[in-house]
């Protein structure tokens, strides 16, 4: 295949002009250009790099309505979401600009020489973080802007000083190409080498495999399926020089309804839950696919309200016909699982749409059949009825790693929440109270990550400013003369606004 076309989510039919399919030669050329651009790009000043990130945001806004139109037709998502996601995408670029300017990411450390120390003098040692090299970013289908071509992975890698080669998601080539053009315009406007950003597209997995295997790529950012993330991680491990893959994969995001909250507002929680479950056709990494609660009147009220809301839910256009088919298959498997009861179904989906569905099972059954906990990407969720807190805790302990866990709780539930917290901390990256896991704030204290298989690397996050750390590594400089030291480690750089750990004591510049 040498060409492919965009597909309208609502109809499943091709639309627009064909795109050339990129192949191995394009991957090699892109990686060579990224490698060639690396030393120039990483030597940019904090101010220049920040201005570049802001320029990308400006260029994205300058695309105007054609970007929103492409987003809408390619994703099937609503306009408010498209505009919100564009705002989030530009906002995170600006946040990283701010992070780059402040300079804490450099983790500067200086241990001055101690020439008189006995029995041996201490040399002068200085440390900074440097970018790892060219980074491959895989666009995600479910966030055509915020987790795709100019999404969080791209923004954090560029902020770290890494050239980026994006493998655009084939579900939104028009959106991706518009964004790629905006970034390339910013690259040129800022006088940077072209290789700082490149965009490859194509419908086959071979393109991504070739990218991960290219020896010039030094790290990978990915958001997508478990199978896809694990395949990339295997390729990355099998390289002559293995590289890290930051894959954000699968999560069913347990929601815990603690007894007092459930007693006080079971019905309201049930309705709100379905709102989170069906938002965006349930196509969020943080979609609440599992509800855990202890038997009682409150749970009955929750179930009744949730059942009612799901029954009234309309089918929604899914991102691709492939995702709609996978969703239907997952729903079918759960529907046919012994011990899993179908509580409610919304209006039936079709080739392009998914309908909501709600299941119920017991803790004993859930513990006995791990497959009930497999992610079904879409508006499907399972309520697990537990006899008591001990059983609820056992279900939690048996879960795989997750992105989030949610506690619905009142003041009288605080003791129970404190007992559960140590278990939750080991299972998830983010613990939230009295809200819903969908809706991930882009800020400094966000962790969008978590133990395997939620991600391939729980030491990091893919959303929020801490994401920059994924693309950095430390280098130590011992007794280097001032003119040879990197500028930020020279004595005359003190006062440049970046914090420094001097002899173990953190000092603000």
Query: At its nearest, how many Å lie between a copy of itself and the CB of residue 212?
Result: 15
User: To the nearest whole angstrom, how small is the minimum distance from the Cβ of residue 232 to a copy of itself?
Assistant: 13
Catalytic residue among 31, 90, 162, 285: 285
Min CB(15)–a copy of itself separation in Å: 30
Q: Does 480 bind a copy of itself (CB under 8 A)?
A: yes
* DSSP string for 345-362: E-S---SSEE--EEEEEE
Total residue count of the chain as it appears in this document? 509
**Which position among 35, 54, 59, 248 bears the catalytic label?**
248
Q: With CB under 8 A as the contact rule, which of the stretches 103-111, 170-178, 180-188, 314-322 interacts with a copy of itself?
A: 103-111
**Which is nearer to a copy of itself, 367 or 432 (by Cβ)?**
432
The binder of a copy of itself chosen from 22, 49, 86, 109 (CB under 8 A): 109
For residue 371, state whether it binds a copy of itself (rule: CB under 8 A): no
d(CA 134, CA 137): 10
Burial of 337 (0-12, 13-18, 19+ CB in 10 A): middle
| 316 within 8 A of 323, measured Cβ to Cβ | no
Measured between alpha carbons, how far is 476 from 133 in angstroms, rounded to an integer? 17
Q: Which one of 127, 162, 380, 396 is in contact with a copy of itself (CB under 8 A)? A: 127
Q: Please, what is the minimum distance in Å from the beta carbon of residue 434 to a copy of itself?
A: 6
Least separation in angstroms between residue 211's CB and a copy of itself is 19
- By beta-carbon proximity to a copy of itself, the closer residue of 380 and 407 is 407
Compute how many residues bind a copy of itself; rule: CB under 8 A. 83
Is 285 annotated in the active site?
Answer: yes
In the bound state with a copy of itself, the residue whose beta carbon lies nearer, of 95 and 306, is 95
| Residue 264 within binding range of a copy of itself, rule CB under 8 A | no
Map the footprint of a copy of itself across residues 412-431, applying CB under 8 A.
Answer: 414, 417-418, 421-422, 425-426, 428-431
Q: Among 473, 488, 493, 496, which residue sits at the site for a copy of itself (rule: CB under 8 A)?
A: 473
Shortest Å distance, C-beta 158 to a copy of itself: 18
Instruction: Reduce the DSSP state of residue 189 to 3 states and report it.
Output: helix
Which residue number, 391 or 457, has a Cβ lying nearer to a copy of itself? 457
Measured from the Cβ of residue 105, the count of other Cβ atoms closer than 10 Å reads: 23
Q: Which of the stretches 156-164, 165-173, 179-187, 438-446 binds a copy of itself when contact is defined by CB under 8 A?
A: 438-446
Residue with smaller CB distance to a copy of itself, 66 or 237: 237
> Between 24-42 and 205-213, two packed helices, what is the crossing angle to 10 degrees?
40
Query: For a copy of itself, which is the closer residue by CB, 166 or 442?
Result: 442
Tokens representing 2? 């040498």
CB 185 within 8 A of CB 211: no
CA atoms within 13 A on the CB side of 422: 2
Cα diameter, the chain? 80
Indicate whether 447 belongs to the interface with a copy of itself (CB under 8 A): yes
**Binding window for a copy of itself (CB under 8 A); candidates: 12-20, 200-208, 320-328, 476-484:** 476-484
Residues 79, 122, 329, 387: which binds a copy of itself (CB under 8 A)? 122
Q: β-pairing, 380-386 with 290-294?
A: parallel
Q: Which residues pair with 6 in a beta bridge?
A: 15
CA dist 63 and 58 (Å) reads 9
Q: What CA–CA distance (Å, rounded) separates 89 from 54?
A: 11
Cβ proximity of 427 and 451 under 8 Å? yes
Told to judge if 443 belongs to the known catalytic residues of this protein, a careful annotator would answer no
- Say which residue the tokens 């701010």 belong to: 98
Q: Which of residues 195-254 bind a copy of itself (CB under 8 A)?
A: 237, 241-242, 244
Residues 72-101 that bind a copy of itself (CB under 8 A): 84, 95, 98-99
Element (H, E) at 65: helix 65-75
Our CB check for a copy of itself shows the closer of 119 and 336 to be 119
Site for a copy of itself in 21-50 (CB under 8 A): 39
With binding defined as CB under 8 A, does residue 488 bind a copy of itself?
no
Cβ partners under 8 Å of residue 99, min gap 6:
105, 159, 465, 468
Q: Mark the segment that binds a copy of itself (CB under 8 A) among 17-25, 143-151, 156-164, 457-465.
A: 457-465
Minimum distance of a copy of itself from residue 286's CB (angstroms): 11
User: DSSP states of 319-341 as a string?
Assistant: S-HHHHHHHHHHHHHHHTSTT-E
Our measurement of the distance from residue 33's CA atom to the centroid of its chain's CA atoms, rounded to an integer in Å, reads 26
According to CB under 8 A, which residues from 128 to 167 bind a copy of itself? 130, 132-133
Stretch that binds a copy of itself, among 165-173, 198-206, 339-347, 480-488 (CB under 8 A): 480-488
- Among 428, 32, 25, residue whose Cα is nearest residue 193: 32
Cα-Cα-Cα-Cα dihedral of 493, 495, 499, 503, to 10°? 70
Q: Which is nearer to a copy of itself, 5 or 101 (CB)?
A: 101
Closest approach of a copy of itself to the CB of residue 393, in Å? 13
81 near 280, Cβ under 8 Å? yes
Q: Which amino acids are annotated catalytic?
A: 248, 285
């Amino acid at each position: 295949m040498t060409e492919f076309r965009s597909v309208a989510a609502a109809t499943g039919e091709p639309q627009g002009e064909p795109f050339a399919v990129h192949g191995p030669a394009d991957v090699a050329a892109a990686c060579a250009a990224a490698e060639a651009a690396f030393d120039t790009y990483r030597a940019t000043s904090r101010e220049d790099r920040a201005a570049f990130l802001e320029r990308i945001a400006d260029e994205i806004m300058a695309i105007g309505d054609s970007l929103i139109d492409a987003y809408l037709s390619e994703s099937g998502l609503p306009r408010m979401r498209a505009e919100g996601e564009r705002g989030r995408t530009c906002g995170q670029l600006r946040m990283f600009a701010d992070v780059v300017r402040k300079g804490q990411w450099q983790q500067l450390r200086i241990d001055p020489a101690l020439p008189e120390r006995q029995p041996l003098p201490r040399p002068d040692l200085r440390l900074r973080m440097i970018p790892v090299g060219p980074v491959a970013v895989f666009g995600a289908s479910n966030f055509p802007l915020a987790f795709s071509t100019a999404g969080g992975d791209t923004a954090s890698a560029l902020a770290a000083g890494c050239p980026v080669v994006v493998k655009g998601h084939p579900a939104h080539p028009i959106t991706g190409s518009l964004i790629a053009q905006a970034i390339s315009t910013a690259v040129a406007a800022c006088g940077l080498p072209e290789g700082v950003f490149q965009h490859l597209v194509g419908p086959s997995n071979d393109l991504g495999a070739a990218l991960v295997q290219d020896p010039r790529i030094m790290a990978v950012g990915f958001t997508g399926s478990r199978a896809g993330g694990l395949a990339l991680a295997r390729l990355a491990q099998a390289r002559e020089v293995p590289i890290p893959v930051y894959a954000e994969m699968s999560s069913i995001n347990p929601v815990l309804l603690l007894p007092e909250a459930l007693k006080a507002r079971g019905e309201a929680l049930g309705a709100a839950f379905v709102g989170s479950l069906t938002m965006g056709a349930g196509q969020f990494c943080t979609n609440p696919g599992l509800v855990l609660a202890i038997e009682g009147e409150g749970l009955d009220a929750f179930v009744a309200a949730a059942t009612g809301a799901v029954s009234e839910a309309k089918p929604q256009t899914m991102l691709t016909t492939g995702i709609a088919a996978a969703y239907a298959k997952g729903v079918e498997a759960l529907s046919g699982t012994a011990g899993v009861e179908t509580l409610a179904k919304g209006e039936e989906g079709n080739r392009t749409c998914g309908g909501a569905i709600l299941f119920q099972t017991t803790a004993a059954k859930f513990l006995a059949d791990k497959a009930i906990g497999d992610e079904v990407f879409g508006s499907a969720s399972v309520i697990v009825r537990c006899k008591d807190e001990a059983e609820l805790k056992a279900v939690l302990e048996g879960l795989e790693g997750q992105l989030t866990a949610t506690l619905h709780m009142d003041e009288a539930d605080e003791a129970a929440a404190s007992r559960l917290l140590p278990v939750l901390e080991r299972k998830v990256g983010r613990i939230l109270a009295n809200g819903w896991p969908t809706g991930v704030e882009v800020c400094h204290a966000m962790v969008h990550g978590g133990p395997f298989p939620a991600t391939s690397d729980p030491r990091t996050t893919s959303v929020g400013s801490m994401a920059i750390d994924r693309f950095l590594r430390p280098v130590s400089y011992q007794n280097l003369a001032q003119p040879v030291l990197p500028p930020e480690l020279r004595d005359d750089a003190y006062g440049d606004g970046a914090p420094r750990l001097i002899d173990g004591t953190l000092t603000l510049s």
